[in-house]
Amino acid sequence: MLSSVTVLTPPLSAEIFFVALYLSTIKAKIMRSVNWDYNKQLVNMIDQRQLPSVFERVELTSYQEVATAIREMYVRGAPAIGAAAAYGIALAAQQSKTHDLLAFRQDMADAAKNLQATRPTAVNLFWALERIMAVVRNEAYDNIASIRTEVLAEAQRLADEDVEINQRLACNGAALVNDGDTILHHCNTGSLATVDWGTALGVIRMANQQGKNIHVLLDETRPRLQGARLSAWECEQYNIPYSIIVDNAAGHFMRTGQVNIVFVGSDRTAANGDVANKIGTYKLGVVARENGIPFFPVVPTSTVDLSLSTGDDIPIEERDGTEITELTLFGRPIAPKGAKVRNPAFDVTPHKYVTGIVTEHSVVYPPFKVNLRNVVTAEQAKISN
């Protein structure tokens, strides 16, 4: 099974203990959510299910273990899942013992099929596997050893590119942050959701790393509480001053002048700048504009869908109601047994509430319909060159 090393996260009130431990564990902790261990020739990832109580990295030695880890949500966030699957094919290339090139390629195809079945709606998963399988099928590589090498190299490039794009997002966004700012943030958009750095939380991490004196208000982000569980944990790792708030409180802090700027992620952005993101983002956009507070989605151009003219074309997934009711308070259920629930997972924030969109190319301002297309086209041209 999956082997693991457990590191209990230190209580933050014990500052001295934390600083001491910080130096010894910083490297291990601020490693990528998923990466390739070149010494041991295996996949290493954070088991996110146990955060924030327990920090544990697991070592995966077969593509089947990677499939299990994706299915059971050790790893989450589209880019991280994509990278994990790509590394999974690199493991499959090690596992295959055949000396026949055709049979080897078939083993890779079987592994890809297996990995693809883990999270049926994850677009990044399909995209990453297709990119790796193109290497497997490439007839320029006419022996098993070279395919093994190239598959791993491509998986590593895929992961590195995610990190590089996120760092460019972080730099572009951090330029919008002033010394002394209080930043409002929704959900988890950090290292844990990507290979490293993330989007909106990457901007915050970069501003902090640049020495700007900032404070972050973290929406806890019901229903799945990624803000309280994951973003708060990341802020502790990077020594970013933060406070968790209930989603209901964001309006109060904005109205009373306690928020300077809002950064959020985006699952999908339409050609006109409408943004589909974690449920609750829309309310933040409206209340930010009402109070004259800049509102910036942080958006890799790969998630801009120019084929969608507006956000109204984006279907809103409604998830199972137990996601809301499975919480317990003092060990007791929080809703009547059999309670009726509605649970839309995302909402659309129309572009009129969006001050600007931070991309890895630049910060895009209105009119989004023209300017967003220009930037996305420029980035796509860069990739195809």
Q: Is 317 in the site for a second copy (CB under 8 A)?
A: no
Residue 72's CB is within 10 A of a number of other CB atoms, namely 12
Nearer to a second copy, 36 or 263 (CB): 263
Q: Which is nearer to a second copy, 247 or 379 (CB)?
A: 247
How far apart CA 155 and CA 56 sit, in angstroms, is 23
Closest CA to 60 of 116, 124, 4, 117: 4
Distances in whole angstroms, Cα of residue 151 to Cα of each of 34, 145, 159, 168 = 16, 10, 12, 26
Residue 221 is a binding residue for a second copy (CB under 8 A): yes
Backbone angles phi, psi at 34, to 5 degrees: -145, 135
Question: Based on CB atoms, which residue is closest to a second copy, 2 or 341?
Answer: 341
Per CB under 8 A, does 222 bind a second copy? yes
Instruction: Using the rule CB under 8 A, give the single segment among 4-12, 98-106, 112-120, 172-180 that binds a second copy.
Output: 4-12
- The minimum distance between CB 262 and a second copy, in angstroms, equals 13
Nearest distance, CB of residue 321 and a second copy, angstroms: 8
Among 16, 102, 329, 383, binds a second copy (CB under 8 A): 329
Task: Tell me whether residue 222 or residue 268 sits nearer to a second copy (CB atom).
Answer: 222
Candidates 62, 210, 343, 362; binder of a second copy (CB under 8 A) is 343
Rounded CA separation 336/111 (Å) = 44
**Closer by beta carbon to a second copy, 20 or else 134:** 20
Q: Could you tell me the two tokens for 48?
A: 């996110």
What's the Cα-to-Cα distance from 383 to each of 124, 376, 379, rounded to whole Å?
16, 11, 6
Within 263-292, which residues bind a second copy (CB under 8 A)?
A: 278-280, 282-283, 286-287, 290
Close Cβ partners of 10 (under 8 Å, ≥ 6 residues apart): 17, 18, 21
CB atoms within 10 A of CB 348: 20
Q: Is 308 in the site for a second copy (CB under 8 A)?
A: no
Q: How crowded is residue 106: how many other Cβ atoms within 10 Å of its Cβ? A: 14
146, 252, 365, 374: which one binds a second copy (CB under 8 A): 252
Give me the least distance between CB of 206 and a second copy, in Å please. Answer: 21
Strand positions, DSSP E, 246-325: 261-264, 268-270, 275-278, 295-297, 304-305
* Catalytic sites, residue numbers: 267
Report the interface residues with a second copy, using CB under 8 A: 9, 11-14, 50, 52-53, 217, 220-223, 225, 228-229, 232-233, 236, 241-253, 255, 278-280, 282-283, 286-287, 290, 316, 321, 324-344, 347-348
